[in-house]
Amino acid sequence: MYELKVCSFNICKLSKANMSLKKNGSIIKKIIKEGKYSIIALQEVIDYEGVMLLAKELGPTWTGAYGRPPKMNYNDPEWKKSGKYATEGYGFLWDESKVICATTEILDSFGNSYIPKRYRSYAPRIINQDSNEMIFDRQFNLIRNPYYGRFTPRTAEGTSRLFEIRIINAHIIEGINTTSQELFDSQEYEEEEEVSINEVQLRKKEFRALSNSILPSVDNRIYGRNPLKQTDVKTGLNHYTFLMGDYNLNLKREENPTVATLAANEEHICLLGAHPREIVTFQENRTTIKKSASSEDVMNNKHCLNNYDHFTYDILKVDDLIIEIDNQWDDPIKNYYANEDNPCKKYYEEVSDHLPIGMKITYGRNSGF
């Protein structure tokens, strides 16, 4: 059995300047180290330098990557690129003593392996960043394209050929002109496809594009192509694809009905066809924090607002895995800020306005590993 822990973390404007002046790197390091995470998918990243400063804080075996999606034009009915880049991007951090970026074998012009074999590493990238990247149905629905990384475990012998984890790191747009508080103060509405786009409808459209189109397309991708026969080179690796990040949408909760909520048929999506899929969204803890909360509020679990951060995957494709979502994880505000006068405010200033979420993946249940 092989265990790997993955974390998704909206880290709230991670940048070189904020790492130097505001962020508490030692606390963020404790959160990641105590969670025993090997891969971190970051949202709200401002620059590459911020990612690498955090990687340096984590230790010499850690490295990272940064991607900034193209900014979409809100006023264009086809959501075409404006030619500019979004202010907020994404990052990945990973511990190279445990995982590496996935590799693809390079073949010669006749489709034969080199001796010794040659491999090309697949660096994380913004999906549909250029004409050579994958094109997806309904990509026009995404205002901020997701960030995509492929990772494989590293064993004591070096590069592992056990399996591959594909991560789609997403941050669904919150809204164009409306704050999240205004959304929660608003009334329920009846969603109609033909009405003018509003914030919640836009969030749900983006989620559908990610879950119904991008996730299956990424999962179907086979890497490596024989240049002579134009056929895919089979690596023999099992791969598993996960969508994760800040969806700005709650899973349905009876105690807090809100328009910013996934319906039951959106939480659990059944796609029919030659290759049926059951795409399910998990992680029910509230992860966005209040601006102000007392120590008593924190100890009584009354310091969080929304359940916005999630993991999504096809449950029919993970037979070889045991997946455990950290539904009862250690709350970093309780662990490090409970004695502050305003724990949430201090955590927000030094870390983020979101709590991280974690997932443990155990490989080998049916594989004999």
What are the pLDDT digits (tens) for 63-86? 999 999 887 655 554 445 555 666
| 177: CB partners within 8 A, 6+ apart | none
DSSP 8-state secondary structure symbol assigned to residue 6: E
Q: How far is CA 52 from CA 56, 152, 349, in A?
A: 6, 21, 20
Whether 308 contacts 250, CB under 8 Å:
yes
The pLDDT of residue 261: 85
- How confident is residue 319, by pLDDT bands cut at 50, 70 and 90? confident
Mean pLDDT of the chain: 81
pLDDT-above-90 percentage for the chain? 53
Q: Which of 47-51, 114-118, 213-217 has the lowest mean pLDDT?
A: 114-118
* Average of per-residue pLDDT across 129-144: 53
The pLDDT of residue 236: 58
Return the higher-pLDDT residue of 69 and 186: 69
∠ CA 187-193-196, nearest 5°, is: 65
* pLDDT higher than threshold 90 for residue 332: yes
* Average of per-residue pLDDT across 319-323: 90
Q: State whether residue 93 is helix, strand or coil.
A: strand
CA terminus-to-terminus distance, the chain: 6
pTM of the predicted model, to two decimals?
0.86
Return the higher-pLDDT residue of 278 and 119: 278
* pLDDT higher than threshold 90 for residue 330: no
Q: Which of 84-93, 217-226, 242-251 has the lowest mean pLDDT?
A: 217-226
- How confident is residue 249, by pLDDT bands cut at 50, 70 and 90? very high
* Average of per-residue pLDDT across 208-222: 92
What are the pLDDT digits (tens) for 299-318? 998 999 889 999 999 999 99
The pLDDT of residue 70: 81
Return the higher-pLDDT residue of 109 and 21: 21
What are the pLDDT digits (tens) for 79-128? 455 556 667 899 999 999 999 999 887 878 777 888 888 888 899 999 97
Q: Which amino acid is at 33?
A: K
pLDDT-above-70 percentage for the chain? 76
The pLDDT of residue 43: 98
The pLDDT of residue 253: 61
The pLDDT of residue 364: 78
Q: State whether residue 208 is helix, strand or coil.
A: helix
Fold of 2-363: Deoxyribonuclease I; Chain A (3.60.10)
The pLDDT of residue 228: 45
* pLDDT higher than threshold 70 for residue 140: no
* pLDDT higher than threshold 80 for residue 199: no
What are the pLDDT digits (tens) for 161-174? 578 999 999 999 87
- How confident is residue 272, by pLDDT bands cut at 50, 70 and 90? confident
Q: How far is CA 279 from CA 246, 271, 295, in A?
A: 17, 8, 38
Backbone angles phi, psi at 193, to 5 degrees: -65, -30
CA 57 – CA 95 distance, rounded (Å): 12
- How confident is residue 223, by pLDDT bands cut at 50, 70 and 90? confident
